């Protein structure tokens, strides 16, 4: 129970607390409402006091006595309009007796008294000023807003009152103050919340009144003029900032007056005001000079108008495009004025014009396609060319550069203009213009040249940055071919919308690229056409620019829009009577938009495009086509038929000739002209005023009937009308994103001039900033060139390599080193060249030659180590530099490749140059030693070693060019050596680099080494080529590559054949090479045979290895290693195969045939040769299969022929005969032990070979080629010694060997008697045996007596 009681008490207490809170909230709400009421009452009281004060001030000023110093005498009170005083007093009486709040009262009640004072001409200026101040306070305090009853009438009444301010009786001193107050009130009205209720007429009245103040202030104080201009500026900003709110107020039809008044001001006043601003551009001032009067554009008014137009466009933004009338005004009126005054204005006006057009481009570029092209063609390009003042050229260039700085501008220019066959090449013209102005003409760079250079670099950077960005996003995309080929006919004049007709952006890009290719072909066709009409038109067919059969429209557009065509040839073609050419004439005439033109203007436009032929019939056909077109497009019903147009055209041409031909003495009068053209319009007369206007137009301005081809074209009214007519039907401007393929293509159009300008600027520049910009431009070009513009990069590298001072052929080493150490450009160029070689080596082709030349020069200057690529290299330290100074060979180059960012950032490519330039700041205080250290640091930053160690990333073309440059440089092409030592060091250095490249690219060795081998063949054919030391260094380097190839076993045998083919070529250049390089060759060959014999798979490889082992092993210092290698190979026998067996035998005989070679070695070799018969037997038993029997499918032709018999028994017998012949030749050695042992080994061989299954023919062949030949040779040798004096010992020794040979003959004969006897040639064979026996028995030894061999013969 106690708990329940406590719970009830807690609930009651909580209820009491909640009731208290609720009561407090109600009280606070009441207090808040009371406070709001009090605040409103205080506000209303304050407003009442303010109005009372202002009313009192106005009354006081009106009643104030006259100032004795003032020229104005105020009227007495009774003369002042009593209504004004009454209204002011009535307002005072009402102020403190209000029954409602001020914000609910009609604003006209408290505005009207003050407006009456302002509009009255009977009050002093001071009173008017006080009344204006009162209204200004009312507006600033925002006593009322657009929601107040009567706000619309009040705000419009205020405009009428302020703009009707009367100052007739105001003294001039006070007038300025009153006008400044008027300007303030007008600004306050337009910024007031109720200004949205103003009518269009009221807003236009405000602007017009403000401009009247601007005009009046021209001859008054500067302060009033500035305030008036500033107010005008604020008004324009206020009005056009609301342009987006006008969107729903402009419908397809015109609004009624009542609707416009109800809705407030809108697009109507915006259009009227903008039209007024455009008209200010035509304001002229009259200038009197020496009694004559001239009219020129008022520059101050133009500048003022342009500032206001700029503000209107900036604040309106893209909203202008939603209002067709305002947009058409910008497209037509404004642009016409800007283009007209652009070429004849001051630099300041031109700068404002450029700024205006740039603002229009930002917001409305989809709608100003032709206007923008005209502005560049007729203003910027024209002014920027030579002939205008330097200041105007600078302004024009700055305008162009400002456009180029916009992210997508240059790309849009290229797509819409350069890739359009019927438009100008705007982007290409911009690039070439900048290059032309950037090109230095003197020793120092002018401000104009630096400005143009900066603009060129901006363009290059934009292209490079966008290409890199796009590649980073999609590395798998192809860049397409360059240039594009036109594979099929497509009408070149037809536009296609990216959004509507093409499925994807990729298709659109390809379409644009094809159009650019068409445009390029059209210009080529124009060149042919000017020389031969038929060839030019035939080229159009070949290039797929016209259909088959030809379409007249294709020829028409070709004649109409192709620049620099011969106008005389066009006129002759169009006037021909051929049916097809008449159709071309009709299509040609249809390309003109003549709507809105009067007849003479249209005729001028038409005849400007070709030269009217002299033949009357041709003229008739051309004028008939024109007359029909003009009649169809006339904007009025003036002419009743095309015949009337035709007659009048003829009459105008005759009038033109009459008025402007100097040979015509009596000129036609206006009356005569009108009389001549009576009743030509369907029997009626044309209006006299119309004919009079035509007469005066022709008389004052001749029609150019025989214009020159290529003459400059000016923007005249007729051309502008045609442009506007064409703009109405053309596709809108395409707002594009960047595309890497088009970026590559667009730079290609300006690549040549850009490279030339960049190189010459670098040569003439003296400022560090300019040099830095050149290097940045160089890197950006490299970034672009890597996508298909390799020739451009090669050209640029060739230029910059010259700036390194390393390629001066006339300077000594000392002079070159001095120039390099004391020239900032030289070191910057060197660092730039090798940085590009590291980062963009894949894009370099012919440029490798210049890079290699620079590298070799650095080597000769001792700025490189003896070996640039050291596997144990690390980062250089200061102690390393000191070592280099002492030893001249220890500069350290990092072998790792720190990948550079593709973007142009400070920490990457350009970061090195920032550090480099800071390093140069204290250059003057360095000693000679420190200069040398600086050189070493710069070379270290070049990371030369990485170029070669990382060459695996180079594409085949780049790698081949690099290898070619090194091989040719090693052969001395383009090199001058002062000493043989220098020559040898340079050649060795080149071959070290070649080897490094080969080792880094072993994975694709078969793809690039054939070309390297061709380069070696080409080198051997150089005039005055000396194989020493080139071939020596080559042999050493090639064996390094060979060892590396064999160390990494590859199933593909082509690499092995290729390297041995080159090795074979090198040692054959000069046989002395094998002597001079014997140790190196022997070591390499021995290593191959001891470590990698299993990887040696080709006949060519074995042949070269064993041959070189035999030849180089003859030397005393290499014999032991060579013979041991051979013995090891043949003892093991595992790696002896039918492929290399014959070469092993040849090599073995080579060692046996050496004089004074160790007897035991020769005996060992002979034994191994005899035991090798077991291998032949094994191959015979195993079906002629051994590990070495499989040959490469890509072997040489000779190897293929030899391989045909490798799997046959005959080939096995051939190898045996090869072995027997080696024994036969060994049996002729000078030392008896070797001869006798050779015959014994031969005997052993025949004994073992019995298992080879000799046929009768094989037996007889063995006898003929081996045994009979050996007996004959020994017999001849014995007889030779018998004829010598004191040679009995040698003769008896040889006799003993012959005796053994005869025993061998007998044993082998008996061994193979059965198969021999079965042969059909046995009789001949037996006669051969008997003949040799008989010869030996009857041998005449002269003074040494009879031969002892006969005893053996008798036994046989």
**pLDDT tens for each residue of 297-340:** 678 889 999 999 999 999 888 888 888 999 999 999 999 999 99
435 pLDDT exceeds 60?
yes
Digit-coded pLDDT (tens) for 923-945: 443 344 567 778 888 888 888 88
Mean pLDDT lowest for which of 278-287, 1122-1131, 1257-1266?
278-287
- How many angstroms separate the CA atoms of 1222 and 1147, rounded? 10
Q: Output the pLDDT for position 886.
A: 35
Q: Output the pLDDT for position 252.
A: 43
Digit-coded pLDDT (tens) for 664-697: 888 888 888 888 888 888 888 888 898 899 888 8
- How many angstroms separate the CA atoms of 484 and 742, rounded? 11
The C-alpha R_g of the chain, in whole angstroms, comes to: 52
Which phi and psi angles does 238 have, rounded to 5°?
-65, -40
User: Which residue in 437, 362, 465 sits closest to 783, CA to CA?
Assistant: 465
Q: Mean pLDDT of all residues in the chain?
A: 81
Mean pLDDT lowest for which of 107-111, 183-187, 708-712, 1274-1278?
708-712
Sign of CA dihedral 944, 948, 950, 954: positive
Q: Output the pLDDT for position 247.
A: 59
Q: Output the pLDDT for position 64.
A: 73
- How many angstroms separate the CA atoms of 89 and 59, rounded? 9
Task: Calculate mean pLDDT across residues 515-526.
Answer: 89
Digit-coded pLDDT (tens) for 621-639: 999 999 999 888 887 778 8
Band (pLDDT 50/70/90 cuts) for residue 1340 is low
- How many angstroms separate the CA atoms of 954 and 960, rounded? 9
- How many angstroms separate the CA atoms of 261 and 269, rounded? 12
SS3 146: coil
Task: Calculate mean pLDDT across residues 762-784.
Answer: 91
Band (pLDDT 50/70/90 cuts) for residue 256 is very low
- How many angstroms separate the CA atoms of 520 and 1279, rounded? 89
Band (pLDDT 50/70/90 cuts) for residue 391 is very high
Digit-coded pLDDT (tens) for 976-1006: 777 888 888 889 899 999 999 999 999 899 9
When comparing pLDDT for 444 and 1193, which is higher? 444
- How many angstroms separate the CA atoms of 970 and 980, rounded? 13
Q: Output the pLDDT for position 475.
A: 43
When comparing pLDDT for 721 and 437, which is higher? 437
- How many angstroms separate the CA atoms of 83 and 88, rounded? 9
When comparing pLDDT for 25 and 1290, which is higher? 1290
User: Which residue in 1070, 1241, 1061 sits closest to 1149, CA to CA?
Assistant: 1241
Task: Calculate mean pLDDT across residues 513-517.
Answer: 87
Q: Output the pLDDT for position 1202.
A: 45
Contact 168, 195 (CB under 8 A): no
Q: Output the pLDDT for position 176.
A: 82
Digit-coded pLDDT (tens) for 824-861: 889 999 999 999 999 999 999 999 999 999 999 998 88
Q: Output the pLDDT for position 872.
A: 37
Contact 101, 148 (CB under 8 A): no
Percent of the chain with pLDDT over 70: 82
Digit-coded pLDDT (tens) for 740-768: 788 888 899 999 999 999 999 998 888 88
Six-digit token pair at 172? Answer: 């001039």
- How many angstroms separate the CA atoms of 302 and 279, rounded? 10
Q: Output the pLDDT for position 584.
A: 92
Distant-in-sequence contacts of 646-651, Cβ < 8 A, 24+ apart: 647/677, 647/680, 648/599, 648/677, 648/680, 648/686, 648/694, 649/599, 649/603, 649/623, 650/623, 651/676, 651/677, 651/680
Name the residue with tokens 């006037």. Answer: 575
- How many angstroms separate the CA atoms of 1102 and 1121, rounded? 18
When comparing pLDDT for 1049 and 733, which is higher? 1049
1084 pLDDT exceeds 80?
yes
1102 pLDDT exceeds 90?
yes
1233 is an active site residue: no
Q: Report cis status (omega within 30 of 0) of the bond before 859.
A: no
Q: Which of 101, 495, 615, 1250 is catalytic?
A: 615
Six-digit token pair at 641? Answer: 């038929």
Contact 843, 961 (CB under 8 A): no
Band (pLDDT 50/70/90 cuts) for residue 1282 is confident
Sign of CA dihedral 972, 976, 980, 984: negative
Which phi and psi angles does 287 have, rounded to 5°?
-120, 130
Q: Output the pLDDT for position 202.
A: 92
Could you tell me which residues come within 8 angstroms of residue 42 by beta carbon, excluding any fewer than 6 positions away?
none
Mean pLDDT lowest for which of 45-54, 429-438, 496-505?
496-505
Six-digit token pair at 335? Answer: 């642009």
Q: Output the pLDDT for position 243.
A: 85
- How many angstroms separate the CA atoms of 554 and 546, rounded? 6
Which phi and psi angles does 348 have, rounded to 5°?
-65, -45
């Amino acid at each position: 129970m106690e708990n329940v009681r406590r719970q009830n008490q807690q609930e009651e207490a909580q209820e009491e607390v909640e009731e208290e809170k609720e009561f407090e909230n109600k009280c606070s709400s009441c207090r808040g409402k009371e406070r709001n009421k009090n605040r409103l009452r205080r506000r209303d009281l304050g407003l009442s006091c303010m109005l009372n004060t202002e009313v009192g001030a106005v009354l006081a000023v009106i009643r104030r006595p006259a100032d004795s110093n003032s020229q104005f005498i105020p009227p007495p009170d009774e003369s002042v309009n009593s209504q004004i005083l009454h209204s002011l007093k009535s307002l005072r009486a009402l102020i403190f007796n209000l029954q409602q709040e001020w914000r609910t009262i009609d604003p006209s009640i408290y505005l009207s008294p003050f407006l009456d004072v302002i509009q009255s001409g009977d009050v002093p200026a001071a009173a008017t000023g006080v009344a204006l101040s009162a209204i200004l306070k009312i507006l600033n305090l925002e006593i009322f807003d657009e929601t107040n009853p009567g706000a619309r009438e009040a705000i419009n009444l205020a405009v009428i009152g302020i703009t009707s301010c009367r100052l007739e009786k105001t003294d001039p001193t006070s007038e300025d103050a009153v006008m400044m107050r008027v300007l303030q009130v007008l600004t306050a009205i337009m910024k007031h919340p109720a200004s949205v209720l103003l009518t269009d007429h009221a807003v236009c009245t405000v602007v017009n009144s403000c401009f009247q103040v601007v005009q009046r202030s021209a001859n008054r104080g500067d302060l009033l003029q500035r305030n008036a201009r500033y107010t005008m500026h604020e008004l324009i900003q206020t009005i056009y900032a609301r342009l987006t709110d006008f969107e729903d107020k402009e419908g397809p039809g015109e609004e009624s007056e009542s609707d416009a008044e109800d809705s407030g001001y809108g697009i109507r006043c915006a259009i009227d005001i903008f039209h007024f601003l455009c008209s200010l551009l035509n304001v002229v001032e009259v200038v009197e000079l020496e009694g004559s009067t001239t009219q020129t554009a008022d520059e101050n008014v133009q500048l003022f108008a342009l500032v206001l137009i700029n503000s209107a466009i900036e604040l309106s933004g893209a909203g202008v495009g939603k209002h067709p009338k305002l947009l058409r005004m910008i497209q037509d009126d404004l642009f016409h004025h800007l283009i007209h005054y652009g070429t004849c204005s001051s630099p300041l006006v031109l700068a404002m014009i450029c700024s205006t057009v740039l603002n229009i481009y930002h917001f409305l570029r989809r709608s100003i396609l032709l206007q923008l092209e005209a502005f560049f063609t007729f203003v910027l390009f024209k002014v920027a060319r030579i002939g205008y003042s330097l200041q105007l050229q600078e302004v024009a260039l700055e305008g162009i550069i400002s456009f180029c700085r916009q992210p997508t501008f240059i790309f849009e220019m290229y797509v819409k203009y350069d890739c359009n066959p019927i438009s100008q090449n705007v982007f290409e013209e911009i690039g070439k213009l900048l290059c032309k102005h950037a090109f230095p003409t003197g020793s120092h760079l002018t401000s104009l040249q630096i400005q143009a250079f900066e603009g060129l670099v901006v363009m290059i950077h934009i292209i490079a940055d966008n290409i890199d960005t796009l590649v980073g996003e999609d590395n798998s995309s192809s860049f397409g071919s360059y240039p594009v080929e036109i594979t099929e006919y497509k009408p070149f004049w037809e536009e296609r919308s990216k959004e509507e007709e093409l499925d994807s952006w990729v298709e659109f890009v390809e379409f644009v690229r094809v159009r650019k290719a068409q445009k390029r072909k059209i210009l080529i066709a124009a060149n042919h056409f000017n020389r031969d009409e038929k060839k030019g038109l035939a080229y159009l067919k070949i290039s797929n620019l016209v259909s088959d059969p030809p379409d007249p429209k294709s020829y028409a557009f070709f004649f109409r829009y192709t620049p620099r065509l011969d106008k005389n040839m066009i006129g002759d073609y169009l006037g021909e009577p051929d049916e097809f050419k008449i159709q071309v004439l009709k299509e040609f005439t249809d390309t003109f938009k003549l709507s809105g033109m009067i007849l003479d203007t249209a005729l001028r436009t038409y005849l400007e495009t070709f030269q009217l032929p002299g033949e009357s019939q041709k003229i008739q056909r051309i004028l008939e086509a024109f007359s029909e077109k003009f009649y169809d497009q006339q904007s009025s019903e003036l002419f009743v038929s095309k015949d009337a147009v035709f007659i009048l055209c003829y009459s105008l041409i005759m009038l033109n000739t009459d008025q402007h031909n100097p040979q015509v003495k009596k000129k036609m009068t206006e009356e005569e002209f009108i009389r001549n053209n009576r009743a030509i319009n369907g029997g009626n007369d044309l209006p006299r005023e119309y004919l009079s206007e035509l007469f005066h137009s022709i008389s004052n301005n001749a029609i150019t009937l025989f214009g020159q081809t290529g003459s400059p074209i000016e923007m005249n009214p007729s051309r502008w009308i045609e442009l506007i007519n064409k703009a109405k039907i053309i596709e809108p401007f395409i707002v594009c994103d960047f595309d890497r393929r088009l970026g590559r293509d667009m730079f290609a159009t300006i690549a040549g001039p850009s490279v030339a300008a960049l190189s010459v600027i670098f040569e003439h520049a003296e400022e560090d900033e300019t040099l830095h910009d050149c290097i940045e431009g160089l890197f950006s070009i490299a970034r672009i060139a890597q996508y298909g513009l390799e020739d451009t990069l090669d050209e640029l590298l060739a230029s910059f390599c010259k700036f390194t001072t390393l390629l001066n052929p006339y300077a000594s080493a000392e002079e070159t080193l001095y120039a390099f150490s004391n020239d900032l450009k030289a070191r910057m160029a060197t660092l730039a060249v090798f940085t590009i070689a590291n980062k963009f080596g894949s894009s370099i082709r012919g440029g490798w030659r210049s890079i290699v030349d620079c590298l070799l020069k650095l080597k000769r200057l001792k700025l490189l180590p003896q070996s640039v690529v050291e596997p144990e290299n690390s980062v250089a330290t200061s102690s390393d530099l000191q070592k280099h100074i002492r030893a001249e060979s220890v500069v350290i180059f990092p072998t790792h490749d720190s990948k550079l960012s593709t973007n142009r950032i400070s920490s990457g490519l350009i970061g090195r140059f920032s550090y480099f330039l800071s390093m140069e700041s204290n250059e003057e205080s360095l000693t000679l030693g420190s200069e040398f250290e600086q050189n070493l640091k710069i070379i270290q930053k070049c990371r030369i070693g990485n170029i070669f160690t990382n060459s695996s990333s180079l594409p085949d073309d780049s790698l081949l060019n690099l290898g070619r440059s090194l091989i040719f440089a090693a052969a001395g092409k383009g090199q001058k050596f002062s000493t043989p030592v220098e020559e040898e060091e340079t050649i060795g250095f080149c071959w070290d680099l070649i080897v490094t490249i080969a080792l880094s690219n072993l994975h694709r060795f078969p793809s690039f080494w054939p070309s390297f081998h061709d380069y070696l063949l080409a080198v051997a054919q150089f005039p005055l080529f000396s194989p020493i030391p080139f071939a020596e260094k080559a042999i050493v380097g090639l064996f390094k590559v060979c060892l590396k190839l064999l160390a990494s076993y590859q199933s593909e045998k082509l690499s092995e054949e290729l390297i041995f083919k080159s090795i074979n070529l090198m040692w054959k250049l000069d046989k002395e090479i094998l002597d001079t390089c014997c140790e190196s060759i022997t070591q390499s060959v021995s290593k191959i045979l001891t470590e990698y014999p299993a990887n040696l798979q080709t006949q060519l490889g074995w042949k070269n290895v064993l041959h070189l082992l035999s030849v180089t092993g003859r030397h005393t210092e290499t014999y032991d290693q060579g013979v041991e290698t051979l013995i090891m190979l043949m003892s093991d026998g595992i790696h002896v195969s039918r492929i290399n067996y014959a070469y092993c035998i040849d090599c073995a005989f080579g060692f046996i045939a050496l004089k004074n070679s160790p007897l035991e070695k020769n005996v060992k070799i002979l034994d191994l040769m005899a035991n090798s018969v077991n291998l032949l037997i094994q191959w015979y038993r195993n079906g002629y299969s051994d590990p070495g029997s499989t040959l490469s499918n890509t072997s040489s032709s000779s190897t293929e022929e030899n391989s045909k018999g490798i799997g046959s028994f005959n080939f096995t017998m051939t190898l045996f005969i090869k072995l027997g012949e080696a024994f036969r030749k060994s049996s002729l050695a000078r030392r008896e032990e070797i001869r006798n042992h050779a015959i014994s080994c031969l005997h052993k061989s025949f004994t073992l070979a019995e298992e080879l299954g000799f046929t009768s023919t094989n037996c007889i062949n063995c006898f003929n080629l081996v045994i009979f030949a050996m007996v004959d040779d020994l017999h001849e040798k014995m007889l030779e010694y018998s004829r010598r004096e004191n040679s009995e010992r040698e003769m008896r020794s040889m006799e003993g060997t012959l005796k053994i040979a005869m025993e061998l003959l007998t044993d082998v004969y008996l061994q193979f008697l059965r198969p021999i006897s079965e042969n059909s040639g046995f009789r001949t064979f037996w006669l051969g045996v008997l003949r040799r026996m008989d010869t030996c028995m009857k041998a005449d030894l002269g003074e040494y007596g009879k031969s002892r061999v006969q005893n053996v013969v008798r036994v046989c």
